[in-house]
Amino acid sequence: MTGFRVPGMSAGGLRVVPHAAVMLILEFGAGGSTVEDGAERWYRGSVVGGPGAGSGGGVRAWGVDVECVQVRLSPVVAGAVMGTCPADLAGSLVSLDDLWGGEAARIREQLAEIPSWAGRFAFTETLLARRREARSPVDPALAWAWNRIVVSGGLVRVDDLAAELGWSRGRLWARFRSQLGLPPKSAMRLVRFDRAAHRLVAGEDAARVAADGGYCDQSHLHREVRAFTGGTPATVSGEPFLTVDDRAWPTGAPF
């Protein structure tokens, strides 16, 4: 969880780079932002993005005097917190008004009345914890499998993961897709990309990042970066959406 105060964004907008989490943006400031999803659908105010939202580089945000609390939710808890199946959010954007109705407007008003970031974070954490406790959690076996993928940097094999669970590949795929919103192979690919992208932002050599990140070669890394962002490794290394992460998300882990 982190907070942003953005006076204005560039004329071209801020490109949203995919992440292996559900992205929740709670706006509350005097200004506001607009997000375009690459398919000529526009969203204003608070939004939710499923795992991989922004793939292809088509999702961009514009705004003036934007203030918001942003939360990265592991898919393991996102379904309970958001009150919808992660499969309905996978790779897409949804207006929070459409998910939570009038509660979204009340949250905006309450956040605007809180004078400090510490207070806003405490309010948001209480809100999310309450929503999580009111709904059934994800299957513990799936939670374990997701964490296994994240800890391995996306390098665990699907067959090995299924064997460790005592499941067939088909059962693993179906349970992942229905409860977490994306199949295991896509989850691994997204986690690998996220690790690689942040190493590129840190200034590491692309050839080394490719070798350590499970890519066949540097060309393979280049193709994956292009598929997820629409840009090259060189352009991604300077993406504003990623370069704030060492300050905005100092632990490197989603909420």
pLDDT at 255 over 50: no
Mean pLDDT along residues 151-161: 94
pLDDT at 254 over 60: no
Pick from 34-38, 95-99, 111-115: least confident: 34-38
Same domain, 122 and 165: no
Specify the amino acid at residue 148: R
Considering the domain boundaries, does residue 251 fall inside one?
Answer: no
Same domain, 148 and 213: yes
Domain of residue 170, CATH code: 1.10.10.60
pLDDT at 122 over 80: yes
Distance CA 74, CA 88 (A): 15
Same domain, 43 and 108: yes
User: Which of 133, 162, 189 is the C-terminal boundary of a domain?
Assistant: 133
Hey, is 151 helix, strand or coil? helix
Pick left, alpha or beta for residue 168 (phi over 0 → left; psi -120 to 50 → alpha; otherwise beta). Answer: beta
Other beta carbons within 10 angstroms of residue 238's beta carbon come to 11
Distance CA 55, CA 227 (A): 7
Same domain, 129 and 165: no
Same domain, 63 and 155: no
Considering the domain boundaries, does residue 8 fall inside one?
Answer: yes
Read off the tokens for 28: 């509350």
Domain of residue 79, CATH code: 2.60.120
Q: What is the pLDDT of residue 71?
A: 94
Q: What is the pLDDT of residue 250?
A: 62
pLDDT, greater one: 251 or 140? 140
How far, in Å, are 132, 164, 192, 233, 252 from residue 208 at the CA level? Answer: 40, 30, 14, 12, 21
Q: What is the pLDDT of residue 11?
A: 60
Mean pLDDT along residues 211-216: 94
Question: Residue 55 in contact with residue 227, Cβ under 8 Å?
Answer: yes
pLDDT at 244 over 80: no
Same domain, 148 and 44: no
User: Which of 133, 157, 176 is the C-terminal boundary of a domain?
Assistant: 133
% of the chain with per-residue pLDDT over 70? 95
Q: Which is it for strands 93-95 and 47-49: parallel, antiparallel or unpaired?
A: antiparallel
Q: What is the pLDDT of residue 96?
A: 94
Domain count of the fold of the chain: 2
Helix H or strand E encompassing 140: helix 140-151
pLDDT at 247 over 80: no
Q: What is the pLDDT of residue 169?
A: 94
Read off the tokens for 117: 């970031």
User: Which of 133, 153, 184 is the C-terminal boundary of a domain?
Assistant: 133
Q: What is the pLDDT of residue 40?
A: 81
Range of the domain at 225: 140-246
Read off the pLDDT of residues 161-188 as tens digits, 9 standing for 90 and up.
999 999 999 999 999 988 888 899 999 9
Cβ-in-10-Å burial (0-12, 13-18, 19+) of 118 comes to exposed
Same domain, 71 and 165: no
Same domain, 123 and 81: yes
Mean pLDDT along residues 217-243: 90
Distance CA 122, CA 136 (A): 23
Distance CA 243, CA 253 (A): 15
Same domain, 123 and 187: no
Average pLDDT value for the chain: 89
CA 230 to centroid of chain Cα atoms = 17
